[in-house]
Amino acid sequence: MWLAGSEFREVTAVDFEFTAPPGDQPRPVCMVAHELGSGRIHRMWQEELHACRRAPYPTDPEALVVAFYASAEVGCHLALGWKPPANVLDLYVEFRRHANGLVPPYGWGLIGALLYFGLDALTAIEKDEMRQLVLRGGPWTQEEKQALLAYCEEDVLALRRLLPAMAENLDLRRALIRGRYMVAAAHIEHQGIPIDVPALALLRERWTSIQDDLIAEVDKAYDVYDERAFRMERFERYLAAHGIPWPRTHGGQLALDDDTFRQMARSRPALAPLRELRYALSQMRLADLAVGSDGRNRVLLSAFSSRTGRNQPSNSKFIFGPAVWLRGLIRPEPGRAIAYVDWSQQEFGIAAALAGDEKMIEAYTSGDPYLRYGQQAEAIPPTGTKQTHKAEREQFKQAVLAVQYGMGHEALALKLGVSAAHARQLLESHRRTYPRFWAWSDSAETYAMMHGHLYTVFGWQVRVGPDANSRSLRNFPAQANGAEMLRLACSYAVERGINVIAPVHDALLVEGPEGEIDEVVARTQGAMADASRMVLFGFELRSDAKVVRYPDRYIDERGERMWNTVWGLLQRPAGHSQQEVSA
C-alpha cells in the first residue's frame, strides 16, 4: 500500500455520486470512503451525508484525501457545508500530467487510467448505466440504493489499485500544489457568475425573430449578406475596397473560418462586429448556457484539460465561451460588484523573466513593453509616446504577439497590411533586440527534442514525439507557466477569503459587496503578484482591474457595438413580447 515515506497520518480514498442540474451546485446522492491506514470504511446515503456537520474521514493538515477529479468531491463537501480537505491528491490530474502529449487509448477517465496502467476496470457500458441511474434522480428503490453504493465503492476500490500503480511517477510535493488548485476550482465552481436572467430570457425568446434585423443592422457597414447568406464575392469586394489583405486557403479562396476572422479582427477592430455576427448566427447556442435556479452561471472548469494545463470549460455552457458581446449578460446583484483583474502583458513578462533577457525585462518594467521595444529597436525615438507614435507602436505590438503565437512573416504582413519584407524586418528586429530570449526559446525546442518532454517550474510536463510542432514547443514554456501562475493565484485568492467566481486565461473575475470591492481588488492583485513572484523566481507582474457595480453590467469593449445593436433590436416592440429590461 502506498504510504511509505508519507508524512500523513491517514490517507483516504473518496468518491461521491451526485446530480447537478445545469448551472446548479451539486446535490450529493451517496459517498464511499476508505481510510487506507486505519481500515475504516464509510458508506453513506444522502440523508446520512446531510446529517453530518463535517466529513466522517480526516481532512486536517496531517491527512491526505485521494480522489479522481477532486473538484467534484470537494464541491460535494461545499454543498454539504463541510470543510474541504487540507491536502488533496488528484489521480486524474496526475494521470494527465504523466501522459500529457500522448493519446491514451481508452481516454482520460478513471477507466482509461486503470487500463493505461494495466489494471482491471468496469466496462464503459456498466459505468454509464450506473451514472444514468444517478442522473435520473430519486426516489430510488432500496435495491437501486445498494447498487449505487456498490458502484460508488467500486470507484474507491479502483483508486486503491491505481494509487500504488502510479506511485513511482508521483512527485508528491508538486502534486499537492495541483491538488490545492482543485480545491480552489471547487470553490469557484460553487460560487458561479451572476447573470441578468430577465435579459437572458428575453434574448432566448426573441433571438430567432431578430436575426434578420440584426443582419441588416450590422451588414450596413459591409454589404456582404444576401438575406441570411454570407456571400464570399461581396466580402472580397469589401476587402478590396478597404485595402485589407486576407489569408487564403490552399485552393486560393478566402479563409472564412472563425479562427481567421478572430485573428484579423484583433488587428482590424472594424471587422469585429462582422465576426461576432457570423459566430452568433452559426455557432452560438443560447439554450446551452448553464444558468442555475439562483441565476448564476456554473460550469465544470475542466482543469488541466489542455496540453499547457489550462482550463477548458465548455464553450457553449460558460458565459466566457461564446461571442464576447454575450458577456453583457454578466450583471452583479443589488448591493454587489464584480471586478475583472488581469495581468498586464503576462506572456511577455513570463518570457522575459524565465529567459533572463535584461532588455525584455526593461521593456516590461517600463509599463509599455511595445513602445519600449520600438525604442530599443531604434524605430521610435526615446521621447516618443503612445500618442505620438501610435502606428509604430501598434506594429511592434503585433510583432510581439506574432512571436508569442509563432506567426511567420507572411501571416504578420497580412495582419498588419504591410509588405512581407517589412514584416520580416519586424520579426528580425525582435531577434536582434532580444537575443537572450531567442536563445532560451531555441533551447526549449532543442531540449524537448533531445529529452522527449518539457516541463514547467512546478513540474507540469508535456511529452514530445519526433513529429512535434516547433511552434507548440516554443510556446509551451510561457503558456504552461502562465497556467501555473493562474492556478496559484486562484489558490492564494480563495485561501485568503476572496470570492473568485471565474478564472479567464490571464485574469480572475472576483465578487464582493459594492462598498468593499476596491479592497477586494487590492487583495486579488496581491494574490496575483505573489503568484507571479513564485513562478518567476521573484519577478513580479503587474495587473489591471475593471470594476462593475450594480446596476451596471459587464461589457467587453470588443463586443460593445454588437451588444448595443442586439439590445436596441430587443427593445423594439414585438407582437409576442412587450417585456422591457433595462440596458
CA dist 486 and 92 (Å) reads 19
Q: What is the pLDDT of residue 122?
A: 74
Q: Which of 146-150, 243-247, 453-457 has the lowest mean pLDDT?
A: 243-247
Q: How confident is the model at residue 577 (pLDDT cuts 50, 70, 90)?
A: very low
Check: CB of residue 261 under 8 Å from CB of residue 283: no
Q: How confident is the model at residue 306 (pLDDT cuts 50, 70, 90)?
A: very high
Q: What is the pLDDT of residue 466?
A: 78
3-state secondary structure of 131: helix
Angle (CA) 485 487 492, round 5°? 90
Check: CB of residue 371 under 8 Å from CB of residue 380: yes
Mean pLDDT for 4-28 is 91
Mean pLDDT for 78-95 is 99
Q: Which long-range contacts does 357-363 make (Cβ < 8 Å, 24+ apart)?
A: 357/434, 357/435, 357/436, 357/437, 357/440, 358/436, 359/433, 359/434, 359/436, 360/434, 360/436, 360/437, 361/539
Mean pLDDT for 171-192 is 98
- In order of start, what are the domains of the chain with their CATH numbers? 10-191 (3.30.420.10), 197-287 (no CATH), 291-345+479-560 (3.30.70.370), 347-476 (1.10.150.20)
Mean pLDDT for 25-44 is 98
User: Global pTM?
Assistant: 0.93
CA dist 474 and 441 (Å) reads 6
Q: Is the pLDDT of residue 3 over 90?
A: no
pLDDT tens for each residue of 101-142: 999 999 999 999 999 999 988 776 677 889 899 999 989 999
Q: What is the pLDDT of residue 579?
A: 39
CA dist 520 and 57 (Å) reads 34
DSSP conformation class of 221: T
Q: What is the pLDDT of residue 164?
A: 97
Q: How confident is the model at residue 583 (pLDDT cuts 50, 70, 90)?
A: low
CA dist 18 and 184 (Å) reads 19
Mean pLDDT for 133-158 is 95
Cell of 99: 501522459
Mean pLDDT for 389-398 is 94
Check: CB of residue 444 under 8 Å from CB of residue 462: no
